[in-house]
Structure 1
Amino acid sequence: MRAYLCIGLLCSVWMISGCWDRTEINDLAFISGTSFDLTDTGECCLLSVQIAIPSSSQGGLGGGGSGQQEKFFVLSAVGKNTSDAFQKIQMKSSRRLFTSHRSVIFIGESFGRHGINEVLDVFTHDPRQRLRTYIMVVKGGEGREILQTKYPFEQLPIEAVKEMEGLGTELAVTLRDFFITAASEGISPVMGVIEAKDYSGGNQEKNKIFKLAGSALFKDFKIIGFLDSKQTNGFAWATNRKKSGEIDASLPNGNGNVGMQLNHAKRTITSRIIGDKIQVKIQLQGEGSLLENNTDLNINRPNNLKLVKQALEKSVETEVREVVADLQKRYKVDAIGFGQEIFRDHPKQWKALKEQWDLKYPQVDLAIGVKLNISGSGMSGTPLQLKEKEIKK
């Protein structure tokens, strides 16, 4: 009897079990990108989301089958905070908004200069928010402008931004990176920058395209300045973000230029405190091969290769020194993390320096050492366009 009772109970459990709280995919609206902007009256905040249109839902959007069908649309709403604006957007959608597939969050420049602290809190508490989402500043424009811009290679423009960030040609920062830096001692956070540009000289929206455009500097969660692409490259060296890429250098006395493909890179940083003086040394190392030789030198010769190597090392040193000088003198923001290194190496001295770091940071003495290893000259040995007598042995 007991056996029949157990079997009956098991059968009843099996019959009443199931995914009672499941949500069908057809009931979800997948958000691919989000932007934050100020309103026309300067209020906070204007939230916009880019939503992908499922292929099965595109039948009625093509104008009777003529013309290109849309792959996405953008919804916006103004709220007193992120949650309020999000709920107002939900009221405009027939499907439940789903954020877990979002790739990028855009911050309009005006909004960034106003301060982004108020909109960041939701990303630290809401488990639906992915911390691996990229976050970027839209220089000279609004975030929703990027959401509305079409991109020829991808059905969803946000996918193009995600792929561009993944290539590592510019600074790529995720929510997680930003939060970790913002919560750390002696360092200020940065973000990657994107711009919407007219690539054909016209004013029509269809001629717009976006491009990565350096990095944005933050202090107290407000944008205080920008680094262009060249400066961002030096910044990547100084912050140990540089892993590969290209180095260009001009030889002395107008003797042409060379290019190197960097395959590996490494940065070490040390600090010393002697009395009232703070010294920081950045040591950079890299390895790669030459790609281009626009000189009259036969770089297969050790002496000539040494000249090329010195020119490349000087180019890297100058690039890093110039960006550090801008950060120290112009912006007065420690985005590289000199203070962070002092906090790690000299915690007792950092307690005394912490409150006056804004005054001490511009006075830090910087030494930079660069050592590049050229493992091969590849196809850039002797310039093929020069005659034998024109080549310097």
Structure 2
Amino acid sequence: MRTPKWIVLFTFIILCGCWDRTEINDLAFVTGTSLDLLEDGTMSCSLQIAIPTTTETGNSTKDNERFFIISAEGKNGNEIHQKLQKKISRTLFLSHRSIIFIGERLAKHGIKDALDIFTHDPRNRLKTYIMIVKGEEGRSILQINYPLKQLTIEAVKEIGLSGEDLAVTLRDFFISSVSEGVHPVVGGIEPDIHSKGTKNQNFNLTGAGVFKDYKLLGFLNEKEALGMMWLTDKLKSGRITANLPKYNGEVGMRLIHANRKIIMQTMDDTVKFKVQLEGEGSLIENTTGLNINEPKDLKIVKSALEDATKKQVQNSLFKIQKKYKVDSIGFGREVHKNNPEKWAVLKKQWDENFPEIDISLDVKLVIKGTGMVNSFLELPEKENEK
């Protein structure tokens, strides 16, 4: 009996396998990238490449050989990528890259051209995180030998996703850059000066960088960045501290839930906003003489924490609105979303008028538990009475 031709063809295809696949041993896994601007105006790019746990000869890598770095310089991303590929025998594999670090000098100069290659090359994932290295080159973070992780990049990523610090992807950045009524903000990082020169180095997350037209305007510190995250409804958790001089101490609260609501009021030629911030959590510190188990004392603590929160968020808003004069929160986007006709009138002059827009804040906190937090020492009853 003759075998049908389609069976022969099907068998041939199966036996041939994947003729164009790339073996894992032929790939170099890029875990992180840094971009910097040199003094002559050219761009420098460094790649952190993971070293496999075993080499081709079967020997294990040493503790200080978890990764290595290659660098190249050029006028554009395509030219730099070609130079980088020639420096390594394996094919650069970019899909595992977690973070891109951008030096402060390049960020202030402008990063539109530097990021252009990430929008065209499908090997670059838009879920990759982006961070600005404050006061240093981006390469300085790639070189850190962090002791608690196989790769420093993973440590940065996990801390950034904790909910207390700003985590922004390339996709987030591009969307904010092209959207109406909002400008992007990017998380900041810097090497820890206390661990410089030591075997095991560290880093610090340092608030956030404020952008306009793809250029860094300046930074928000950690407290200002937390306030900005609350204003943009991105805050998942955080800590609030209030000073009570009258009661000779401080109280601290751990937020486990936070949300924000923006109420817009339309005027004849402008708009104004009221921002309602709500949060709940538990007390984690009390160095005052207040007895938290007493409702009247707990009310004093709650009021002090709400006042401290309001002041902290107002500081964030003041720096964004009055100093940098850029709508990083997205108030213009709220107008665009809720009243397109009004936005059509306001959008042309929004950046110029935003610093004078009336924005008020209202804060309400819910204390769910006080735990074991009372005064630092159980003071006599008379001493607790103020």
Amino acid at match of 1:219: K
Amino acid at match of 1:26: N
- Pick from 250, 253, 257: which aligns with 1:260? 253
Q: d(CA) in 2 for partners of 1:215 and 1:344?
A: 26
Verify the 8 A CA contact 2:33 2:48 in the aligned structure 1: yes
Q: d(CA) in 2 for partners of 1:6 and 1:261?
A: 68
Paired residues for 1:240-319 under 5 Å: 240-251=233-244, 253=246, 255-319=248-312
Tell me, yes or no, if structure 1 residue 88 matches structure 2 residue 83: yes
Deviates more, 1:244-253 or 1:24-33: 244-253
> Displacement, 1:60?
11
Amino acid at match of 2:102: I
Distance change >3 Å, CA 9–CA 98, structure 1 → 2: closer
Q: d(CA) in 2 for partners of 1:372 and 1:153?
A: 36
Q: TM-score scaled by structure 1? A: 0.92
Paired residues for 1:1-393 under 5 Å: 1=1, 4-16=4-16, 18-41=17-40, 43-57=41-55, 68-200=63-195, 204=197, 206=199, 208-251=201-244, 253=246, 255-381=248-374, 383-392=376-385
- The gaps in structure 1 that reach 5 residues or longer are none
Distance change >3 Å, CA 30–CA 12, structure 1 → 2: closer
Verify the 8 A CA contact 2:146 2:200 in the aligned structure 1: no
> Displacement, 1:273?
2.4
Q: d(CA) in 1 for partners of 2:361 and 2:74?
A: 48
1:280-307 deviation per Cα after TM superposition (whole angstroms, max 9, x unaligned): 1110111112111211111222221111
Distance change >3 Å, CA 8–CA 151, structure 1 → 2: closer
> Displacement, 1:255?
3.9
1:143-162 deviation per Cα after TM superposition (whole angstroms, max 9, x unaligned): 11111121111222112211
Distance change >3 Å, CA 10–CA 336, structure 1 → 2: closer
Amino acid at match of 1:12: F
> Displacement, 1:208?
4.2
Deviates more, 1:297-306 or 1:95-104: 297-306
Q: d(CA) in 1 for partners of 2:299 and 2:275?
A: 22
> Displacement, 1:371?
0.8
> Displacement, 1:197?
2.4
* Partner SS for 2:235: coil
* Partner SS for 1:271: strand
Q: d(CA) in 1 for partners of 2:56 and 2:317?
A: 51
Q: d(CA) in 2 for partners of 1:39 and 1:294?
A: 50
Q: d(CA) in 1 for partners of 2:57 and 2:146?
A: 22
Amino acid at match of 2:147: P
Amino acid at match of 2:33: T
1:339-371 deviation per Cα after TM superposition (whole angstroms, max 9, x unaligned): 111111221121121111122101111111111
**Equivalent residues, number:** 386
* Partner SS for 2:192: strand
Kindly report structure 1 stretches of 4+ aligned residues shifted beyond 6 Å: 58-62
* Partner SS for 1:51: strand
1:20-57 deviation per Cα after TM superposition (whole angstroms, max 9, x unaligned): 1111111000001001101232x231111011111223
Distance change >3 Å, CA 94–CA 168, structure 1 → 2: same
1:147-189 deviation per Cα after TM superposition (whole angstroms, max 9, x unaligned): 1121111222112211221223311111111112112110110
Tell me the C-alpha RMSD between the 2 structures: 2.2
* Partner SS for 2:113: helix
Q: d(CA) in 1 for partners of 2:380 and 2:33?
A: 58
Verify the 8 A CA contact 2:247 2:288 in the aligned structure 1: no
Amino acid at match of 1:140: G
Q: d(CA) in 2 for partners of 1:198 and 1:2?
A: 79
Q: d(CA) in 2 for partners of 1:249 and 1:173?
A: 29
Verify the 8 A CA contact 1:58 1:70 in the aligned structure 2: no
Verify the 8 A CA contact 1:244 1:265 in the aligned structure 2: yes
Amino acid at match of 2:45: L
